[in-house]
Amino acid sequence: MKFQRIFAIIERDMRKFFRSPALMMSSMIFPLMQLIVLGYAFGGKIKGIKIAVVDEDRSAASRDVRQRFDAIVAGPQTMKIEDYNSLSDAETDLRTGFVRAVVYIPVDFSRRMEEGNRPRIAFIEDNTDNFVTSELLTRMQSLVQDINQGLNPFQPGQRLAVAAPRLNPLVDLQIVEVYPYIEYIKYLLSGSIAMSIFIVAMIGGGITFIDDKSRGLHEGYLVTPIKKSELILGLIFSGAFKGLMAGTTITLIGGLIAGISRLWDPVRLVYLGMVLTTTSVAMLSFMFLLMVRVSDPLVPRAIFGVLNTLLYFPSGAIYPIEGFPVWLRWISYIDPFTYAVHGLKALLLKDAGFQAIYSDVLILIGFSVVLVGLSVAFFRRQI
């Protein structure tokens, strides 16, 4: 193996790269845009969900429930209460989407309360939107808990002499409201960094590689004495270098946008550099192995979206892996993104040290070695 030849391939690639900064730009705009849009779209608390309240009981007890409702609404403004006179009107509006849920206090509510006979409130929800549903359910449960705490379980119908202090579970939420979006954007940042490296691998490693191949440029160096391994290593290293540049840029710009504290801590920057470098090499090796036998320039373009979905989402970048079904977990185990995201999160969110990332780094190196080996085995030196 001659290093001069590897460097010649790297030099060729780097010169081409710096001559057309469009690649660098496009590999960074997408992840940054995604970081900002997703960060702001998912980061906010849900507000102003319309709820219908139908009080058929019209008693002191039911008015008490209604008041507690208002107290909740006054807090984070998750809900907006609308009074309805009949259940059927409310149900009609639920089905047409004017309200998201109906709280129904039946005629016998206060009587059953007096009798200690499990008074009931019905909660009829539009369960087509999981986010809204889970948000409402949390609120309703705390409401019911709140009501129950005011009742004496031993003497039905009697209020406790001293009411248990009312927990206001909404205080925490109000603190979150101070920085409404930052937290999720920080969570997303690691994924966006890995994404920028992936895009470089895709464009710089996949698309330009196949385009050069189909333009016949490869024939030019296949007639020289270059070895398969030299060619592959040259292409992977030059691609990885571009990936490292994009990843570093997104780490810094994204870190500023997301408000990562002590971004310039030199020790952490070194660790970040390690994760970014190994991620870039692994990602490029992965892409090269995928493209090693491809010659149609449409293929890398066509599989871009598929790959993006298969690598980005199972990595834990936007949702914790613990929430995945088994088959999806298996994808995440063999996905280099997973280790990149894990390492980056450890560094950026938890400010962890080397212990937290060394396994990720080792796994990424192992990945690269295996993938490069396979690429060399499958690469065709001849046309």
CB of 216 to another protein, least distance (A): 3
Sign of CA dihedral 310, 200, 193, 26: negative
**Rounded Cα–Cα distance for residues 383 and 380 (Å):** 7
Pick between residue 165 and residue 225 the one whose CB is nearest to another protein: 225
The answer to the question of residue 11 lying near another protein (CB under 8 A) is: yes
- Shortest reach from residue 23's CB to another protein, in Å: 11
Hey, how many other C-beta atoms are within 10 angstroms of the C-beta on 122?
12
Please count the residues of this chain forming the interface with another protein, following the rule CB under 8 A.
29
CB of 26 to another protein, least distance (A): 16
- CA 138 from centroid of its chain's CA atoms: 22
22 binds another protein (CB under 8 A): no
| Complex with another protein: residue 11 or 115, whichever CB lies closer | 11
Q: Is 77 exposed, middle or buried (0-12, 13-18, 19+ CB in 10 A)?
A: middle
Judged by CB under 8 A, which stretch of 12-20, 72-80, 161-169, 241-249 contacts another protein? 12-20
Closest distance of CB 19 from another protein, Å: 6
Per-residue binding string, another protein, 291-310, x by CB under 8 A, is ----x---------------
What tokens appear for 282 in the block? Answer: 């692994």
Smallest distance from the beta carbon of 217 to another protein, in angstroms? 5
Q: How far is CA 212 from CA 13, 35, 216, 297, in A?
A: 11, 32, 6, 9
**What tokens does 318 get?**
């936007």
Token digits of residue 5: 């030849």
Phi and psi of 83, rounded to 5°? -85, 135
Nearer to another protein by Cβ, of 172 and 296: the residue is 296
Q: Which x/- pattern over 188-227 shows residues binding another protein (rule: CB under 8 A)? A: -------------------------xxxxxxxxxxxxxx-
- In order, the DSSP letters of 327-345 are HHHHHHHT-HHHHHHHHHH
The nearer residue to another protein, 9 or 274, going by C-beta atoms, is 9
Residues 220-259 close enough to bind another protein by CB under 8 A: 220-226
- Residue whose CB is less far from another protein, 4 or 261: 4
Rounded CA-CA distance 375/285 in Å is 8
Q: From 294, 277, 283, 290, select the one nearest 375 (Cα to Cα).
A: 290
Tokens 């460097």 sit on residue: 7
What distance in Å separates the CA atoms of residue 49 and residue 214, rounded to the nearest whole number? 55
- CA 305, 310, 311, 316 dihedral sign is positive
Residue of 124, 126, 142 whose CA lies nearest to 73? 142
Residues 36-75 that bind another protein (CB under 8 A): none
* Closer to another protein by Cβ: residue 127 or 295: 295
Residue 17 CB, nearest approach to another protein (Å): 9
Closest distance of CB 177 from another protein, Å = 51
> What is the smallest separation between the CB atom of 258 and another protein, expressed in angstroms?
35
* Chain residues that interact with another protein, rule: CB under 8 A: 2, 4-5, 7-9, 11-12, 15-16, 19-20, 213-226, 295, 382-383
